[in-house]
Every structure is written in C-alpha cells, then in structure tokens.
C-alpha cells in the first residue's frame, strides 16, 4: 500500500520548498517545522546527502478535530511533506497519505478527518 503521494517538478529544491509552502497555505496548512536533513546529516555525521527537507505541516481545525476524536493522535501529527532532489536537477514533493496512516488507529471518528485532510494535501501537491 502506498503511504504517500508525490509530484516531480522541473525546478530546484529551494524553489520547490517555497512553492510547496504557498500551495499548502492555500489549503489552510501552516509549516510548524522545517528540517533540512542534508545539513543535519552533515553536522551530526559529517556525511554528504542530497537536498532533502521535511516540512511538518498542520491544518489547525482538522488537527483539533483529530485530537478531540483520539487523545493520542498527536503522536502522528503534524503531517509531513518531503521536498527532495530528484534526477536532473528536478525536485520531488511528497506528502503523507493521512488516510493510510490513520488506518493504524482503531477509531472510526478519524476517518472523516483523514478523508478531508487527504483531499487538501492532494490538492496542494497537484497545485504545484
């Protein structure tokens, strides 16, 4: 089962990150965290890695609904979006599929929230 959806863009990662943030904002998501994995791995392990950034995104109304439905759901939040270098100087943007991740939680109240968040994340990725 595929646990994410993605899109390849013909632009470098730094531009893809900015466009991704703009599209996420249109769907009501804010970026809570931004982890530059390339820099972290260089600093911590002194290894070289491709450009790879993890954006921890949150849509507050849906996060609130999920937290009301399942008290420990914060373990699975925020929704992560990855922007990484792809072949030929292109970028790949991928978002977690919340419908797949929420299946691990035995709580039917989360299904409606997951469906709506999935649709918003898909629109953001398709909007790139």
**Domains of the chain: residue spans and CATH:** 4-126 (3.30.310.70)
Q: What is the pLDDT of residue 80?
A: 97
Percentage of the chain beyond pLDDT 90 is: 90
1 pLDDT band (50/70/90 cuts)? confident
Q: What is the pLDDT of residues 24-60, one digit of tens each?
A: 999 999 999 999 999 999 999 999 999 999 999 999 9
User: CB-based contacts of 94: which residues, under 8 Å, 6+ apart?
Assistant: 4, 5, 6, 7, 81, 82, 84, 125
pTM, full prediction: 0.94
Percentage of the chain beyond pLDDT 70 is: 100
């Amino acid at each position: 089962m595929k646990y994410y959806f993605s899109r390849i863009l013909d632009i470098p990662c730094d531009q893809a990150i900015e466009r991704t943030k703009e599209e996420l904002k249109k769907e009501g998501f804010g970026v809570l965290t931004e982890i530059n994995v390339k820099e972290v791995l260089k600093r911590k392990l002194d290894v070289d890695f491709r450009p790879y950034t993890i954006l921890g995104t949150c849509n507050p109304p849906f996060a609130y609904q999920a937290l009301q439905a399942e008290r420990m759901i914060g373990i699975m939040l925020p929704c992560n979006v990855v922007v990484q270098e792809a072949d030929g100087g292109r970028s790949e943007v991928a978002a977690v599929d919340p419908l797949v991740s929420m299946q691990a939680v035995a709580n039917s109240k989360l299904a409606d929230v997951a469906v709506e968040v999935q649709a918003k994340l898909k629109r953001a990725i398709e909007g790139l």
